[in-house]
Amino acid sequence: MNIGSVSLSKNPILRFLPAILMMLAIFLFSAGRAIETPQQLLGFFINKGGHMVGYAILALAYWRMLEFKRNRVWIAWFLALLYAFTDEYHQSLVPWRHPRLFDVLVFDNLGALISLWLAGYLIKSKQPGTRNLVVDEEVIIPKG
């Protein structure tokens, strides 16, 4: 399948590889200490921004695995959210981390939704559409 000039592999392992790598990255970040800054507000934006970016990339990797098919975009979103729940559980097992359902429902969810919406919009805008077509005026031919 081609989207624009991007060719997607038919090999399922290669299609799933970006998602596997992103899940591994999220897992490793969750096992480490949260970034602490002298300014609490800056630390909040770094940590929550990391949630949004990580799950935005993961959702896109899942959608890529599903060959960017429009009817499967919600599956990609669901898989990203499902992984977010498992990651929060993982954080409950790490002594210096604190699981928060709010992170999943807001930051992880928004990151996945925004990236999938934006990617869908960009894919749709690259496809030939009817907005640039010239439509002939209707010609009425008299009977007679």
What's the token pair of residue 37? 């800054």
| Across 120-143, average pLDDT | 68
Higher pLDDT, 137 or 141: 141
What is the Cα–Cα distance from 121 to 110, expressed in whole angstroms? 16
What is the Cα–Cα distance from 125 to 66, expressed in whole angstroms? 20
Quick one: pLDDT at residue 124? Answer: 87
Quick one: pLDDT at residue 5? Answer: 43
What is the Cα–Cα distance from 3 to 21, expressed in whole angstroms? 22
Mean residue pLDDT of the chain comes to 86
pTM for this entry: 0.80
Residue 85: CB atoms within 10 Å: 14
Instruction: Judge whether residue 120 has pLDDT over 90.
Output: yes
Q: What pLDDT digit, counting tens, does each position of 21-30 carry?
A: 999 999 999 9
Quick one: pLDDT at residue 32? Answer: 85
Quick one: pLDDT at residue 39? Answer: 85
Instruction: Judge whether residue 1 has pLDDT over 50.
Output: no
Residue 61: CB atoms within 10 Å: 23
Quick one: pLDDT at residue 41? Answer: 86
Instruction: Judge whether residue 132 has pLDDT over 60.
Output: no
Contact yes or no for 62/111 (Cβ under 8 A): no
Quick one: pLDDT at residue 62? Answer: 97
| Across 62-68, average pLDDT | 94
